[in-house]
Amino acid sequence: MNAPEAKSGFRHVGTRPVRPDGIDKVTGKAIYSPDFVAPGMLQGAILRSPHPHARIRSIDTSKAEALPGVKAIVTADDFPTLKSLMVTMGESAGNIIHVSRKCMAQGKVLYDGHAVAAVAATSAVIAAEALKLIEVDYEVLPHVIDIDEAMQPDAPLLHEDMVTEGVQPRPDKPSNIPTYVSKTKGDVAEALGRAAAVVEGRYSMPMVHQGYIEPHACVASWNADGQANIWCSTQGAFVVRMLTASVLGISQADIRVTPLEIGGGFGGKTTVYLEPVAMLLSRKSGRPVRLAMTREEVFRASGPAPGVQIDFKIGATADGYLLGADLSMKYNVGAFPGNGVQVGLITALYHYRFESFAMHGWNVVTNMPGIHAYRAPCAPQVNFAVESAIDELAYKLGIDPIELRLKNAVVPGDPGFTGGTLGEIGFVECLEAAKAHPHYSAPLGPNQGRGVAASYWINAGGPSVAAVSLAEDGSVLVTTGSPDIGGSRASMAIMAAETLCIPYEKVRVTIADTSAIGFSMVTGGSRTTYATGKAVIEAAETIISIMKARAAGMWGVDVADVAWGDGEAICLDPAKDNQRLPIGKIAARMNNTGGPISAEASVNPHDYLPAFGVHICDSEVDPETGQTTIVRYTAIQDVGRAIHADYCEGQIQGGAVQGIGWALNEAFIHDKAGRLDNPGFLDYRVPVCSDLPMIDTVMVEKPNPAHPFGVKGVGEVPIVPPLATVANAVSRAAGVRIRDLPLSPDRVYSAIKSKG
């Protein structure tokens, strides 16, 4: 609660009202996906591979089928054969064959936990019993987990038909490298040759997981006439509809997806793992079927974030101007080709004005679950390398790390990520705010070190639909197709109330199912308040136009003589003596003035702006144990303009803490047999309350001129800087540079010991 309250010119924007879905969520009434019950519902369960890589010779389900209470069993044979087809998921594309194979292994299992069969039974106990009776004959194959090993010519091949895209000439042999990308500018070797200081290093980190507390779950009910209902927790009901229909080869209009309350997603709930399987079980059994993952299944068989190995070399002039960067990135994308290094390429270096750079990147498939989006997907990994090296460079040159960043920071008008130029970005403002923050000049205690890092995220726009309608008493209904994952109902209500100039409590927001409103892209990419917000504002503006026309009709004046303000129509015709018609009176008479007042807006905006963040961290390292404590943390971010100040801060704090966990503790650990060794919260250690101090936030507000209230995306960029921020702080505290994450006590301790 440390940001400015409602700003001049606004009545609601920037305030902190209680969220409209709040009481349901503090009283246990809200229905999340594992809470939903359909009449006659069966309980499903999934049999998962114990092997990271194996050919499925045969599956015998006869004994399981004979178990009383078992109503349906599904294997890969029940899935339609699909042609390779790229489909839009979230904001990126994926091959529908891979989506299908993540739901059910086809021919081969590619990771420990890969689904091989599913059962629906009258109880969870019987379903679990039935899984034990399914006999799978595996031909176990050699597996590969490590990036370097997977790139070897003699490595076990995951996909016999996969050749590297982006290499000339096209390779004639398959490999585990689906993608090569590169981008160069100028002559890096020459530029680095002129540098007064050069920093070079290899950086690495393992796969990590989004760690949403609610495991994936859904209920599906598929009727004999082909029509189906799916109730699930998702960041995008429309993407569930499209992917399920595509995997099953059925019409999208036949599937109605109702998004239930969602218990966290962070990008991980923008695809399907269970829904097509539950659909098939439902069709076979003729009953609704629930499938719900356990925590172990979430870790073993959903979509983590890639691990990386990055080589980076950077040089600058004596006065701190960046000359060249040589970047080579390998992203471990798990079992299927994914969007890894492609994003690394555009989120690595574009926040600074490099005279020259050379970037090369490879995606590498391994016998781990296929990656999926995790908050600013793929940016934190490369940012860790870049911002660690920048820090070292500043240290080497004896320049303050923020000062060095200021000398090189991009400003509006500099080249953008897709050609063209950058708009009203607030990077310099964030750096200046960090420099001026009392945290940056506060004294440090013994064994403490301070780190800073800076980063950006491109953000996103994209299609959204919103409907606004008036109730007969003048209260207002807003309907969107954007699931509320962190308070967006409140933001939508604020924007509608602001536009209509009415009290916040007079607006109620509903998240509709896919059959009740037109298409919206996922809640993700930091797009919802910006893009769906634009749709809400546009629909509310249409409502105002309609109400002005209705008021004009009631007064018998020209519509040009009607203005809108303070929640009422104002008659400008002097003959009418400045009469006013409040929204309630217009609504009460709407069926005498032309019928219901309702408007829908369908938008596809792309005038979003990238977000920039600068974080400061003080860490204390215990030289006896290598244990790191975060003693102070400040996150500074250009938010454009905060709509709901609390939920903006909450995004920044939550992102920062996920990043702190990534830096200090979190890692997928596989044993020699290629099995995930830590598929639970005891051993996959996300930050807990006692690990942390308060997370101070500073919201820099440089409005986006293309949004009526100035919104820029907020949710993702805060996870990007913490990795390097914490690593820089730890390196200062420990007196030794550590380039591998996580900064676990054993790693930090060894580094301290090895420096002697």
Partner 1 sequence: MSRVRIVPTGAAAEYFGGSGEEFDAEAGNLFQLVEVLDARAPGFGDAAGVQLVFAVNGEVTEDWTAPLPERAEVLIVTKISGG
Partner 2 sequence: MTKQFVTTTVNGDTAEFICEPGESLLDALRGRLQLTGSKEGCGSGDCGACTILLDGEMVCSCLVFAAEAEGRVIETVEGMADGSVLHPVQRKFLEHAALQCGFCTPGFLVATKALLDHNPDPSEHEIRYWLAGNLCRCTGYDKIVRAVQDTAREMRNERKTA
What does the binding site for partner 2 look like in residue numbers (CB under 8 A)? 1, 16, 18-19, 21-23, 25-32, 34-35, 37, 125, 210-215, 261-266, 294-295, 485-487, 644, 646-647, 649-651, 653-658, 680-682, 686-692, 694-695
What are the residues whose beta carbons fall under 8 Å from the beta carbon of 154, sequence distance 6 or more?
none
Radius of gyration of the chain, Cα coordinates, nearest whole angstrom? 27
Could you say whether residue 524 binds partner 1 (CB under 8 A)?
Answer: yes
CB of 189 to partner 2, least distance (A): 43
Interface with partner 1 in residues 21-80 (CB under 8 A):
none
Residue 92 sits in the site that holds partner 1 (CB under 8 A): yes
Element (H, E) at 659: helix 645-664
Give the total of residues touching partner 1 (CB under 8 A).
54
Between CA 45 and CA 67 the distance in angstroms is: 14
Q: Which of partner 2, partner 1, none has residue 755 at its interface (CB below 5 to 8 Å by kind)?
A: none
Under the binding rule (CB under 8 A), the answer on residue 342 touching partner 1 is yes
Q: Which C-beta is closer to partner 2: that of 334 or that of 486? A: 486
Residue 39: Cβ-neighbour burial (10 angstroms; 0-12, 13-18, 19+): exposed
Given the complex with partner 2, which of 309 and 665 has the nearer CB atom?
A: 665
Please, what is the angle between helix 488-500 and helix 645-664, to 10°?
150
Task: Count Cβ atoms within 10 A of the Cβ of residue 398 and give its class: 0-12 exposed, 13-18 middle, 19 or more buried.
Answer: exposed
* H or E, element range at 328: strand 322-334
Strands 448-457 and 611-621: antiparallel
Q: Of 91-99, 114-122, 191-199, 476-484, which segment contacts partner 1 by CB under 8 A?
A: 91-99
Instruction: Tell me if 339 contacts partner 1 by CB under 8 A.
Output: yes
Binding to partner 1 (CB under 8 A) within 530-569 occurs at: none
653: contact with partner 1 by CB under 8 A: no
203 versus 212: smaller Cβ distance to partner 2: 212
| Selected range binding partner 1 among 3-11, 89-97, 120-128, 491-499, rule: CB under 8 A | 89-97
CB of 209 to partner 1, least distance (A): 12
Nearest to 528 by CA among 495, 505, 506: 495
Binding status of residue 604 toward partner 1 by CB under 8 A: yes
Say which entry of partner 2, partner 1, none residue 682 contacts (CB below 5 to 8 A, set by partner kind).
partner 2
Is 375 among the residues that bind partner 1 (CB under 8 A)?
Answer: yes
Instruction: Show contacts with partner 1 in window 382-421 (CB under 8 A).
Output: 416, 418-421
Q: Cα–Cα distance between 704 and 712 in angstroms, integer? A: 6
Pick out residues in 254-273 that bind partner 1 (CB under 8 A): 265-268, 270
Tell me the C-alpha distance between 267 and 212, whole Å: 10
Q: Are 609 and 424 in contact (CB under 8 A)?
A: yes
Query: Of 209 and 739, which has the nearer Cβ to partner 2?
Result: 209
Three-state SS string over 706-737 comes to CCCCCCCCCCCHHHCCHHHHHHHHHHHHHCCC
Give the shortest CB-210-to-partner 1 separation in angstroms.
8
Measured CA to CA, the distance from residue 312 to residue 385 in angstroms comes to 7
Nearer to partner 1, 346 or 643 (CB): 346
- CA angle, corner 306, sides to 300 and 308, nearest 5? 130
Q: Which is nearer to partner 1, 447 or 602 (CB)?
A: 602
Nearest residue (CB) to partner 1, 167 versus 570 = 167
344 or 710, CB closer to partner 1?
A: 344
**Exposure on the CB side of residue 194, measured as CA atoms within 13 A:** 14
Smaller CB separation from partner 2, 515 or 681: 681
Report, in Å, the least distance between residue 266 CB and partner 1. Answer: 5
Cα 671 → chain centroid: 28
Question: What burial class does residue 602 get, using C-beta atoms within 10 Å of its C-beta: 0-12 exposed, 13-18 middle, 19+ buried?
Answer: middle
Residue 518 interacts, among partner 1, partner 2, none and using kind-specific CB cut-offs from 5 to 8 Å, with: none
Neighbour count for residue 28 (Cβ, 10 Å): 7
Which partner, partner 1, partner 2, none, binds residue 258 by CB below 5 to 8 Å per kind? none
* Residue of 458, 507, 586, 729 interacting with partner 1 (CB under 8 A): 458
The answer to whether 745 touches 627, Cβ cutoff 8 Å, is yes
How far apart are CB 649 and partner 2 at their closest, in Å?
8
Q: Does 460 bind partner 1 (CB under 8 A)?
A: yes
Q: Give the span between the Cα atoms of 349 and 357, in whole angstroms.
A: 9
Residue 265 or 306: which CB sits closer to partner 2? 265
* Partners of 637 in beta bridges: 613, 699
Q: Residue 22 touches which of partner 1, partner 2, none (CB < 5 to 8 A by kind)?
A: partner 2
Given the complex with partner 2, which of 620 and 649 has the nearer CB atom? Answer: 649
Q: For the chain, give me the number of helices (H) and strands (E)?
A: 20, 28
Q: How far is the CB of 232 from partner 2 (least distance, A)?
A: 14
Angle of helix 488-500 versus helix 533-555 axis, rounded to 10: 30
Residue 376's binding partner among partner 2, partner 1, none (Cβ under 5 to 8 angstroms by kind) is: partner 1
Q: Which partner from the list partner 1, partner 2, none does 377 bind, CB cut-off 5 to 8 Å by kind?
A: partner 1
Is residue 352 classed as helix, strand or coil in its secondary structure?
strand
Q: Would you count residue 609 as binding partner 1 (CB under 8 A)?
A: no
Q: How far apart are CA 285 and CA 300, in angstroms?
A: 27
Q: Does 527 help bind partner 1 (rule: CB under 8 A)?
A: yes
Q: Which two tokens stand for residue 42?
A: 């069966």
Contact partner, 263, from partner 1, partner 2, none, Cβ < 5-8 Å per class = partner 2
Closest approach, Cβ 462 to partner 1, in A, equals 8
Asked if 606 is part of the footprint of partner 1 (rule: CB under 8 A), the reply reads yes
- Cis check: omega of the bond before 742, within 30 degrees of 0: yes
Residue 375 interaction partner, one of partner 1, partner 2, none, beta carbon < 5-8 Å per kind: partner 1
Q: What is the largest CA-CA distance in the chain?
A: 90
Closest to partner 2 by CB, 16 or 351 = 16
- Residue 314's H or E segment, with its range, is strand 307-316
Binding region for partner 1 (CB under 8 A): 85-93, 165-170, 179, 181, 183, 210, 265-268, 270, 339, 342-343, 345-346, 373-377, 416, 418-421, 457-462, 524-527, 604, 606, 713, 715-716
